Amino acid sequence: MIKPVEVIRLSATVVAGFGRGGKQLGCPTANMCPKDLGDALHDTPTGIYCGWATVDGQGPYMAVASVGWNPTFKNTEKTIEPHLLHTFESDFYGSKINLVLCGYIRPELPFTTLDDLIAAIQSDIALSRKWLETEEAEALKDEAFLAQY
């Protein structure tokens, strides 16, 4: 079950990540530049969220985002990695992404197998699609912040 949260607004350039999202997990992510995020990187509580994103002012697109340390992979750096629920023709490294997080799905969890992690990601995506279609969540896709470019 998704819990509505006070809206978290984040903006950053898309940078290359660890190369796991699309290749290992079948879920490509638009990794947000830690330097661009500044204090927001450290101030945003860890967990799996959903919300809306724009890329260079295009969208909004439904998004599911991992905020934290990716405990399955034992990362040493905190990251914010949104997966946009849209099929893009190509990578968009260097683009500006605006992200509005409005729903909390679950805490970060370590998984013992990649199959378990992939199953959890697919469940997060399905829950997010359904919740983001609610009136409450849909209203946030028109936020002025998302249109900033």
Q: Domain map of the chain by residue range?
A: 3-147
The CATH class of 3-147 is mainly beta
Q: CA 10 from chain center: how many Å?
A: 10
* Known catalytic membership, residue 81: yes
pTM over 0.85: yes
Amino acid identity of 22? G
pLDDT score recorded for residue 89: 87
Cα separation, 29 vs 26, in Å, equals 10
Cα separation, 104 vs 64, in Å, equals 10
Q: Of these residues, 81, 133, 135, 138, which one is catalytic?
A: 81
Cα separation, 109 vs 70, in Å, equals 8
Helix H segments across the chain?
34-37, 39-43, 114-132, 135-138, 144-147
Using one digit for the tens of pLDDT, what is the confidence trace for 38-68? 999 999 999 999 999 999 999 999 999 999 9
Higher pLDDT: 89 or 81? It is: 81
